[in-house]
Amino acid sequence: SQKIEQNSEALNIQEGKTATLTCNYTNYSPAYLQWYRQDPGRGPVFLLLIRENEKEKRKERLKVTFDTTLKQSLFHITASQPADSATYLCALDPSGAGSYQLTFGKGTKLSVIP
């Protein structure tokens, strides 16, 4: 069956360090892989999208890599700040026409400690 796994439920890091979150998937052929941020009591907010033919995408302090051979995406936040504390979700858009479902992992709760 299809499965999306995010490496850990919670991750604590020191302010200023780089946070690295992992998303692994099985039995998918994703066209796109996306990362979202969710704050408590709020809906997820889109951060980055990477296509199956892209290796890396950057946006300010954020970087996403996508390895379709390993079936893995890494999400990096450099120079982390306490304001980066949130739950981060990865999501997969499957390839194939008419595939409308965006499936989410359970998320990793990141805490950046001052």
Partner 1 sequence: SQTIHQWPATLVQPVGSPLSLECTVEGTSNPNLYWYRQAAGRGLQLLFYSVGIGQISSEVPQNLSASRPQDRQFILSSKKLLLSDSGFYLCAWRQGDRGTLYFGPGTRLTVT
79 is a site residue for partner 1 (CB under 8 A): no
Structure-block tokens of residue 97:
């026409």
Residue closer to partner 1 (CB basis): 9 or 16? 9
Q: Is the dihedral of CA 32, 24, 22, 110 positive or negative?
A: positive
**Within 18-37, which residues bind partner 1 (CB under 8 A)?**
31-32, 34, 36
- Give the Cα-Cα-Cα angle 8, 41, 58 (nearest 5 degrees): 55
The window from 14-22, 60-68, 69-77, 101-109 that contacts partner 1 (CB under 8 A) reads 101-109
Among 19, 64, 86, 105, interactor with partner 1 by CB under 8 A: 105
- Phi/psi of residue 83, each to 5°? -65, -15
Looking at 14-22, 58-66, 76-84, 90-98, which segment touches partner 1 (CB under 8 A)?
90-98
The secondary element (H helix, E strand) that includes residue 90 is strand 86-94
Minimum distance from residue 59 beta carbon to partner 1 (Å): 13
| Contact partners, residue 69, CB within 8 Å, separation at least 6 | none
Site residues (vs partner 1, CB under 8 A):
31-32, 34, 36, 41-46, 49, 89, 91, 93, 97-107
